[in-house]
Amino acid sequence: MNKLNLILERGDYPPESSSESYNYNAWRGRFILPVLRIACLLGLGLFFIVFRVVPVSSRILFLFLLLGLFGVTFLRASYNVRAITLLSVTFIAGANEILLLGAWGDATIFLLCYVTLSALLLDHKATIYALTFSFVTLIVIAALYMLNIFKPLDPGVPAIDLTRWAIFIADFAVCGLVVTLAMNALKQEFTKVTQRAQSAYQSLTEERTRLEEIIRERTSALRNRSVQLQSSTKIARALVEIKNVPDLLRASVDAITEEFNYYHVGIYLLNAQKQTATLQASSSEIGMELIGAGHRVGVGIRNPIDLVIEHNKPYAFSDLDKARFISDPNFPSTRTRIAIPLIVRGDLVGILDLHSNKLETVEEEDIEIFETVADLVAISIDNVRLIGETQALIEQLRFYNSEQTHQAWTKATSRRAPAYQYTPAGVRPIFGQVKKEESPIGVLQIPLLLQSQKIGNIHLRRKGYSTAWSEKERGMVEKIAEQISLALENSRLVEEAQRNAQRDQLIANISSRVRETLDVEAVIRTATTELRRVFDLKEAEISVGLPQAEPKAPRKHTSALRLK
């Protein structure tokens, strides 16, 4: 399997014709050529060895046999021609050996080669025919020798009796039969091996095809997943710059429609009681009309929005499943619908509603992608709301600080001189109303601002009225005005802190003196004395007693102490 994976990764597939390598006929076609070449070499060497020994007729026969072998070996010829030629040459060489030497020669070697090659190059029946033909040939030649019809062509060959011929023929028969049976068994096993190899190769081919299909499907799924993730990233990038909820909702549905090719994308937001979902944004004209009509979906109505609100999980519907598919009369062309909850910190705030007019199979991976998109939209909505609330709170705090600053400085300026003026005689306070005059060229007026509140002015006049103030000088004076405003505020805060400390100390002193005794008269006397002393009063009076509940009720005892 690892090798197969490596082949698939490299694309190094075996050719379609490689199945021929398990074909026995194709193997024989490749096998006969080297056999013919070896036979040519061996025959050529044997021809030169026996050239001077054998008669002229045998020389001529060997020469013709060699020419036939060389012809079918090096010239174009069919397999049958080459096989019959090789077998004929082998048989003729064996028969010629018997005619030359009788039973004393090596004819059995040639005849056994003839039988063996018949088993390898031809079918099972041809092997039986070759063995039978060789056996019959030996018997016929032996009979002709025993009847003195033929004599060995070599005069030096000893006489051959019937026993020698019988042994010669029996040896060939036994060896030929063993060779035939062995070759047939070998061919049968080879056939089984080739069949198993073909079956294995077929299984491997089918497995490769299946794996290629799986790889294509996985590659397509990964490509789609990558495109969806890129689309999610684009949507997130498009939403991050938006600072208000209506624009955010509109941009969300438009971006999802553009990236995922849905003909309608809607966003429903829930009310505080989680009982009603109102359509707030849509990418289709039908959805925009529904928004204008105030389209709402309530809990308890059988629709995808209600299922999402009830179970707080996504749902996908296709009209292939008629039992589960819920048609919407507002969107009759919808064939696939996906409803995804918008959840922020575990709280359901809305529903993302997707409509497709195409029949699609929604996988679990697609649901995960849309859940990611829904989370992005929900988080963006929550962030925009938090930003709006934070900005409103900041504005409230800024307004409160501004009002506090205005009140504090109004009170502070009522207790001191409102202005100071530098003159050649020095710095002097101005207690009256500051005279307002039009700003000539040599006069510069810069306000003293604190928390957006104007707490004073800087009024500057040059010695020469004709010299105007430059922008650089004006900027420098403005920076100085900022520092003066901060210094004045710090001084006011220090004074206020000191007054608060003195008041707290005064209260603490009076409290400690009052608590020195447990006698009521002594406590009242001490408190009255301290109040007159601290505030430098002309008269101080402390009365102790309960007010009358009814006019007719008897008057309760009260005590009073007055110091003058």
Backbone angles phi and psi of 468, in degrees to 5: -85, 160
CA 108 distance to own-chain centroid: 76
- Give CA–CA dist 306/331, Å, rounded: 17
Instruction: Tell me the residue range of the domain where 58 lies.
Output: 2-208
Q: Does residue 414 lie within any of the structural domains?
A: no
- Which whole number is the average pLDDT over 258-262? 80
Is 200 in the same domain as 267? no
Is 199 in the same domain as 258? no
Q: What percent of the chain is modeled with pLDDT above 70?
A: 82
Number of structural domains (the chain) is 2
Per-residue confidence (pLDDT) for residue 154, from 0 to 100:
63
- Is the pLDDT at 182 greater than 80? The verdict is yes
SS3 204: helix
Is 199 in the same domain as 290? no
Kindly report which listed range (230-239, 307-316, 429-438) carries the lowest average pLDDT score: 429-438
Is 185 in the same domain as 287? no
- Which whole number is the average pLDDT over 359-388? 80
Is 199 in the same domain as 309? no
Which of 170, 168, 86 lies closest to 130 in space, CA to CA?
86
- Widest pairwise Cα distance in the chain: 186
The enclosing H or E element of 163 equals helix 162-239
First to last CA, the chain: 114
Q: Between 433 and 3, whose confidence is greater?
A: 433
Is 201 in the same domain as 263? no
Per-residue confidence (pLDDT) for residue 2, from 0 to 100:
40
Is 253 in the same domain as 356? yes
Last-in-domain residue among 389, 413, 430: 389
Is 126 in the same domain as 19? yes
The tens digit of pLDDT for each residue in 72-114 reads 888 888 888 888 888 888 888 888 888 777 777 778 888 888 8
Q: Does residue 514 lie within any of the structural domains?
A: no
- Give CA–CA dist 524/463, Å, rounded: 66
Give just the sign of the alpha carbon dihedral 549, 553, 555, 558.
negative
Q: Does residue 188 lie within any of the structural domains?
A: yes
The tens digit of pLDDT for each residue in 457-508 reads 787 877 766 677 888 888 888 888 888 878 887 887 888 888 888 888 878 8
- Give CA–CA dist 405/81, Å, rounded: 120
- Give CA–CA dist 341/351, Å, rounded: 5
CATH number, domain at 285?
Answer: 3.30.450.40
Question: Where do we find the tokens 């900022």?
Answer: 482
Q: Does residue 44 lie within any of the structural domains?
A: yes
Confidence of residue 554 (pLDDT cuts 50, 70, 90): very low
Per-residue confidence (pLDDT) for residue 97, from 0 to 100:
81
How many other C-beta atoms can be found within 10 angstroms of the C-beta atom of residue 172? 22
**Which are the contacts of 445, defined by CB distance < 8 A and separation ≥ 6?**
439, 457, 458, 459, 460
Q: Does residue 52 lie within any of the structural domains?
A: yes
Is residue 142 exposed (0-12), middle (13-18) or buried (19+ Cβ within 10 Å)? buried
- Which whole number is the average pLDDT over 200-225? 85
- Is the pLDDT at 262 greater than 60? The verdict is yes
Last-in-domain residue among 373, 389, 405: 389
How many other C-beta atoms can be found within 10 angstroms of the C-beta atom of residue 267? 27
- Give CA–CA dist 528/541, Å, rounded: 7
- Give CA–CA dist 134/115, Å, rounded: 8
SS3 457: strand
Q: State how far the alpha carbon of 56 is from the alpha carbons of 45, 100, 557, in Å.
A: 17, 12, 176
Kindly report which listed range (160-169, 170-179, 369-378, 419-428) carries the lowest average pLDDT score: 419-428
Which of 306, 365, 367, 359 lies closest to 336 in space, CA to CA?
359
Is 258 in the same domain as 355? yes
Q: What percent of the chain is modeled with pLDDT above 90?
A: 0
Is 149 in the same domain as 286? no
Q: Does residue 187 lie within any of the structural domains?
A: yes
Q: Does residue 432 lie within any of the structural domains?
A: no
Return the beta strands (E) in 151-303 as ranges.
Answer: 264-270, 276-282, 296-298
Per-residue confidence (pLDDT) for residue 196, from 0 to 100:
86
Per-residue confidence (pLDDT) for residue 300, from 0 to 100:
65
CA 73 distance to own-chain centroid: 63
Q: Between 426 and 485, whose confidence is greater?
A: 485
Q: HSE on the CB side for 157, CA within 13 Å?
A: 19
Q: Does residue 550 lie within any of the structural domains?
A: no
Last-in-domain residue among 371, 389, 407: 389
CA 364 distance to own-chain centroid: 14
**Which are the contacts of 411, defined by CB distance < 8 A and separation ≥ 6?**
none
SS3 240: coil
Is 306 in the same domain as 378? yes
- Which whole number is the average pLDDT over 273-296? 86
Per-residue confidence (pLDDT) for residue 23, from 0 to 100:
64
Is 77 in the same domain as 9? yes
Q: State how far the alpha carbon of 432 is from the alpha carbons of 414, 416, 435, in Å.
A: 12, 12, 9
- Give CA–CA dist 427/420, Å, rounded: 7
Backbone angles phi and psi of 430, in degrees to 5: -120, 115
User: Is the pTM of the predicted complex or chain greater than 0.85?
Assistant: no
